[in-house]
Amino acid sequence: MEIFQEGSESVTGMFVGLVTMVLFFAAIILSVYFYLRARNRERLALIEKGVDVTELFKGRKPQSLFKQGMIFMLIFRDYFTLQ
């Protein structure tokens, strides 16, 4: 118990930072998981109804995911560098 009492502020700060980072990445992973799960269910429902699924991809550019990732990194770069 002496270890935690001596530098309790630094240990607490490290713990809070660690928990914050773990929760942040867990939220991202869960968001992606539920998005992909919902998209898959929607596509399966369209296929069961007999709708042509290729119409969903006509207006989509193949580089859109890369652009979204770059925008995400630009927005959150300060968060990552301040840790």
Give residue 52's pLDDT. Answer: 81
Q: pLDDT per residue over 68-82, tens digit each? A: 888 888 887 776 666
Residues 31-59, mean pLDDT to the nearest whole number:
85
CA dist 19 and 55 (Å) reads: 43
Q: Which carries the bigger pLDDT value, residue 55 or residue 24?
A: 24
Q: Which domain holds residue 54?
A: 2-82
| Residue 44 one-letter amino acid | L
CA dist 67 and 31 (Å) reads: 18
Average pLDDT value for the chain? 78
Q: pLDDT per residue over 7-41, tens digit each? A: 556 777 788 888 888 898 899 899 989 999 998 89
The structural domain count of the chain equals 1
Give residue 1's pLDDT. Answer: 45
Here the contacts of 18-27 (C-beta below 8 Å, separation 24 or greater) are 21/83, 24/79
CA dist 59 and 56 (Å) reads: 7
